[in-house]
Structure 1
Amino acid sequence: MDMTEEKTNKAVDIYRDTWVRFLGYANEVGEAFRPLVPVSLVWGSYAVATAYVTADAVDKGKKAALAHGDEPGQTTRVAAAVADTFVWQALASIVIPGFTINRVCAATLYLLGRTTKLPLPVRKWTTTAVGLSTIPFIISPIDRSVDYLLDSSLRKVYGHSEKQE
């Protein structure tokens, strides 16, 4: 079987393999734009990311329920799948990256204000550009760190061995 056939046979996970995945990054984009937009829009970006995380957790719970049918311990496996996905996604898609981008942008705006004579609108747009450009660099380290954190804690409790992507 060649790689093309292998990819065709693999089921597509809309939360991991399609554009829907980018909804999980909504809050990072919201944090990057915080200097330029009303705070209600930033909170709205968190609502979008939270809806994505919740939908992914529910989806993984449904898939676990189908995979385990009427086996003994099915409820526990489904609960573990939902909890693992929700906690992993909440940390890796919302909490840690949102905090990181918020602090990067706050530091950028502060430093630009202290070290340059740029007008405030230019400082705000520069801060947003720095925040947006930071996003691709933080994704992989955060994902790996959250995997390590969960492998070292919660996953030991419920015996979950499959890591998130």
Structure 2
Amino acid sequence: MGDLGPPGAEREKVDIYRDTWVRFLGYANEVGEAFRALVPVGLVWATYGISTAYVTADAVDKGKKAAVAHGDKPGKTMMVGAAVVDTFIWQALASVAIPGFTINRLCAASLLLLGKTTRWPLPVRKWTTTAVGLSAIPFIITPIDRSVDFLLDSTLRKLYGTEEKHKP
């Protein structure tokens, strides 16, 4: 393919952790939590391993990009450290801890409620709970992302002098 854009124009590079299918690896634990009633708990924990690997890889990637962007400027180590810490904490909260807890509690509540209000067989209640958990995932993402942005902007990002919004 030919060159896109005007000559000399800098093209935005694709961020593999945010602009491609790789981003969905961060949602593995939510899917695992949705299936908790149906699969062995070890499989659920394995999905947390996948999500944590994604979070770690994204943090390392952002550190490498910060290192390149800051070259030999003074304060480079601080900026690289801030990029890694900010990305890791943001992703750990917004992609693993808070959504995993949310889906876990939602599924537990729905399974309990279905058990008290229906006479459905247990397998039907478990599959229904899984469907509830999976269907909730798209609705919890944006509020959690915004809440974590607010939390970090109000706390940690003040410590290292930046309140830049994380791009989920």
Provide the TM-score with structure 2 as the length reference: 0.93
Find the aligned partners of 2:103 and 2:125 in 1 and give their Cα distance.
16
Change (3 A) 1:98 1:5: farther
What letter matches 1:79 in structure 2?
G
String of CA shifts for 1:35-59, please: whole Å, max 9, x gaps.
0000000000000000000000000
C-alpha deviation, 1:10, in angstroms: 1.4
- Give the aligned length: 161
Find the aligned partners of 1:84 and 1:163 in 2 and give their Cα distance.
10
Find the aligned partners of 2:91 and 2:5 in 1 and give their Cα distance.
30
Find the aligned partners of 1:153 and 1:19 in 2 and give their Cα distance.
31
Find the aligned partners of 2:164 and 2:60 in 1 and give their Cα distance.
17
C-alpha deviation, 1:5, in angstroms: 4.6
> Which residue matches 2:96?
94
C-alpha deviation, 1:160, in angstroms: 2.0
> Which residue matches 1:104?
106
Q: Does 1:50 align with 2:57?
A: no
- In structure 1, runs of 5+ residues without a counterpart are none
Structure with a larger share of its residues in helix: 1
Q: CA RMSD in A?
A: 1.4
Provide the TM-score with structure 1 as the length reference: 0.95
Following superposition of structure 1 onto structure 2, how do residues 1-165 of structure 1 map, counting pairs within 5 Å?
A: 5=5, 9-165=11-167
After TM superposition, what 4+ stretches of structure 1 lie above 6 angstroms from structure 2? none
- In structure 2, runs of 5+ residues without a counterpart are none
C-alpha deviation, 1:24, in angstroms: 0.2
